[in-house]
Structure 1
Amino acid sequence: MYSLLKKDFWVLAKLRNFLIVCFYIIIFGTIFDSLIGSTLLVTLYLILDLVNQDEKYDTNRYINSLPIKRKDIVTVKYLEGLIFSVTGFLLTLLVSIGYSLYSDKATSGPSFNVILGTLIAVLFLSSLYFPCYFKFGRVAYYVVFIAIFGVMSAVFALQDRAFGIISGVDLDQPFLKIVITLIALVLYYMSHLLSVRIYEKKRT
């Protein structure tokens, strides 16, 4: 699996990707001050761009001709989702802290709820995306690409109302945090199993 991870990171090592990721991080880490928004956009952008490159150059056909298990191919995609999210989170956090120091704006850093919420959001979105990709291929790329901007637009348009609803739920209850986190992890695991099953039966 290491060779697959290495291949994918080389595919993403482009100036265009670097500039786009920096744009997301700077905008959401300074102007909007949204750690979750930046992490989600960076993660989903890198996943979608990687998938688009694989489809464009028909990489999967070549990889499937090698002595590599299809389960490993799927597992790598799920690992990359977590790696991208951690990378986006840490880079946004650094930019946010740097901006606060430069502008003399006091910051206490992200709360545990924000960190946990970011992880859960990434797990949920990735769990929905990957099975669609392994089933429908390039079609899923465009559907999710459009859906991302739709969801992000709705979040910004309805953020006051959404926060009002969320504030009515006591997220400080440890039991509730544990339940939601377990649901997200189980969904991610079940999504992985579903993707493996789909891809092993798929003719490429």
Structure 2
Amino acid sequence: MALVLKDLMTIQRQLKAQSFFLIIILFIAAFMQQGPILFAFITFIAATQAITALTYDELCNWDKFANTLPITKSDIVLSKYLLGIALMLIGLTIALPFAFLISYIADKGETINFFLTFSLIVTAAFCLLALLLPIYIKFGSVKGRMVLIAACFVPGFLVGLLEDHIAQFLPKFLELQNLSFFAPIAGLVILWLSSLISTAIYEKKDF
């Protein structure tokens, strides 16, 4: 928890700046009557801040100092995951009543689709964090950006290439939408597996 607190103190100025943009996004979401926009913005900000904490650590050679302390490398890695999860959950919890009210008014009282969207966005947030942290821990802030771009480009290229085949299976996926409420559990499992990978990567790094 001390490591998480250290990261929060490191990024506190950026969090204050992002809160200003959150107010702007709130007005945009209300104007467009699209509550989930708030969730998408918070997911992006939370993941960005977790990476920002890693970048600051890299710039000041924090890892060299941290590895002289009586803490394990797994604790150092785990603190980044806890930071990302905490920021996401706090942000999503704060935005939930506003997004719910906007969606409730826009959909005239129908809430089932809202909670379905919320569940999928939470899952996407976990998966995004699970993708970003191992890449940045392995390659650092500079090379990590390049690897991330490549990692996003390849799936996008494959989707465009296999668009006709994916369309054939889309109705079958839509039939499973009722199971989407359990998707965050799968997201947590993916995040846990990602933490194991990140820990293995970090333990092999030479500081």
Instruction: Tell me the distance in 2 between the aligned counterparts of 1:95 and 1:19.
Output: 20
Q: Post-superposition shift, 1:42?
A: 1.7
TM-score w.r.t. length of structure 2 = 0.72
Cα-Cα RMSD: 3.5
Structure 1 residues 47 and 107 mapped into 2: Cα distance closer, same or farther (>3 Å)? farther
Q: Which amino acid aligns with 1:202?
A: K
Q: Secondary structure at the match of 1:87?
A: helix
Q: Which has the higher helix share?
A: 2
Q: Which amino acid aligns with 1:3?
A: A
Q: Post-superposition shift, 1:66?
A: 1.0
Instruction: Tell me the distance in 2 between the aligned counterparts of 1:17 and 1:63.
Output: 24
Matched, 1:125 2:123: no
Query: Contact (CA 8 Å) 2:123, 2:186: kept in 1 or not?
Result: no
Query: Contact (CA 8 Å) 1:131, 1:194: kept in 2 or not?
Result: yes
Deviations 1:162-187 (A, max 9, x none): xxx7984135423x543x44432222
TM-score w.r.t. length of structure 1 = 0.73
Report the counterpart of residue 48 of structure 2 in structure 1.
Answer: 45
Report the counterpart of residue 139 of structure 1 in structure 2.
Answer: 142
Report the counterpart of residue 18 of structure 1 in structure 2.
Answer: 16
Instruction: Tell me the distance in 2 between the aligned counterparts of 1:97 and 1:120.
Output: 18
Instruction: Tell me the distance in 2 between the aligned counterparts of 1:107 and 1:42.
Output: 29
Query: Contact (CA 8 Å) 1:25, 1:92: kept in 2 or not?
Result: no
Number of aligned residue pairs: 187
Instruction: Tell me the distance in 2 between the aligned counterparts of 1:23 and 1:127.
Output: 25
Alignment equivalent of 1:173, drawn from 172, 178, 183? 178
Instruction: Tell me the distance in 2 between the aligned counterparts of 1:72 and 1:177.
Output: 31
Structure 1 residues 141 and 40 mapped into 2: Cα distance closer, same or farther (>3 Å)? farther
Structure 1 residues 43 and 185 mapped into 2: Cα distance closer, same or farther (>3 Å)? same
Task: List runs of 5+ in structure 2 lacking aligned partners.
Answer: 157-166
Structure 1 residues 144 and 7 mapped into 2: Cα distance closer, same or farther (>3 Å)? farther
Query: Contact (CA 8 Å) 2:126, 2:191: kept in 1 or not?
Result: yes
Instruction: Tell me the distance in 1 between the aligned counterparts of 2:144 and 2:23.
Output: 22
Q: Post-superposition shift, 1:96?
A: 4.4
Instruction: Tell me the distance in 2 between the aligned counterparts of 1:25 and 1:49.
Output: 21
Q: Post-superposition shift, 1:51?
A: 1.8
Q: Which amino acid aligns with 2:178?
A: Q
Q: Post-superposition shift, 1:108?
A: 6.8
Instruction: Tell me the distance in 2 between the aligned counterparts of 1:189 and 1:77.
Output: 12
Report the counterpart of residue 86 of structure 1 in structure 2.
Answer: 89
Q: Which amino acid aligns with 1:17?
A: L
Instruction: Tell me the distance in 1 between the aligned counterparts of 2:150 and 2:12.
Output: 26
Q: Could you tell me the percent identity over the aligned residues?
A: 26
Q: Secondary structure at the match of 2:52?
A: helix
Instruction: Tell me the distance in 1 between the aligned counterparts of 2:31 and 2:91.
Output: 16
**Which runs of structure 2 are paired with 1:56-135 in the superposition (5 Å)?**
56-96=59-99, 111-135=114-138
Task: List runs of 5+ in structure 1 lacking aligned partners.
Answer: 155-164
Instruction: Tell me the distance in 1 between the aligned counterparts of 2:11 and 2:175.
Output: 40
